[in-house]
Amino acid sequence: MSDCIFCKIVEGEIPSTIVYEDDAVVAFEDLNPQMPVHTLVVPKKHYDNIGDGIPDTELGAVFNAANKVAAMKGIAESGYRVIVNTNDDAQQSVHHLHVHVLGGAPMNSGSPALDEAD
């Protein structure tokens, strides 16, 4: 998709700090990190979101890469979250499937979104 930011990152047309890449995915640092570790993993092929008919192998590649990133960052054992915002209520702002890998410090339990809505 010509106007997709993450397609442009995959193609190298927009600079990013890439931390992992294989045939199916690219992982790069989030521009606006919310945690000491905040890396995004995206499929190289464009899908709008997790509901976009993604083949199992490709979805599996994204999640396996998320764990590889966590291991590379040294947070696989201490713990991390993988978050996939999907559509408007979840505030998905970039409509190219991506998983957030977040960690490096203790996180609250519960739902931050619901807490903020109160």
Which amino acid is it at 58? E
Q: Is 96 in the site for Zn ion (CB under 5 A)?
A: yes
Residue given tokens 């990190």 in the structure block: 33
CB atoms within 10 A of CB 95: 17
Assess contact for 40 and 88: CB atoms under 8 A.
Answer: no
Among 30, 46, 48, 63, binds ligand 5GP (CB under 6 A): 30
Among 38, 44, 46, 81, binds Zn ion (CB under 5 A): 46
Residues that bind ligand 5GP (CB under 6 A): 5, 14, 16, 28-32, 40, 85, 91-94
Please list the active-site residues.
98
